[in-house]
Structure 1
Amino acid sequence: MDAALCDHHAGDTAQGCRRAIDALIELPTDQRTGLVRTRATDLLRHIPSSRTGERTVTDLRELLRT
């Protein structure tokens, strides 16, 4: 998740979201909790509203809903 946040802060939000999604998908659903979930949620909170409709942002948001 740290790499995902770094990608976003470096200006590549789509790559950051893809990294976060990949990291979450590798984990069983019951392990997508705690710090891992918090860091992914932090990434979403740092994304400006003008970009929240982008596919990778939407995909990350949907994955976190599960």
Structure 2
Amino acid sequence: MIEAILFLIFGLVVFYFSIWILILLPAEMAEARGRSAVRWILVSLFFSPGLAIFLLWWLGDNPYREDDQ
């Protein structure tokens, strides 16, 4: 019984970490840089989360962002 509970907890932690890497981190990085979060989530899902994170870091802020700065 304890093993099942520990396995469930471990599974939930792995699931949350996967969602964070695949969706939440690229979305937060894209929004912080004035880029489309949906597009970068798709890059992360179809290609690689590492690639999406690296490209967002490398590209930096969107020079054409439309917010009040």
Calculate the TM-score normalised by the size of structure 2: 0.30
Determine which structure has more spread, i.e. the larger CA radius of gyration: 2
Q: Which has the higher contact order (CA 8 A, sep 6+)?
A: 1
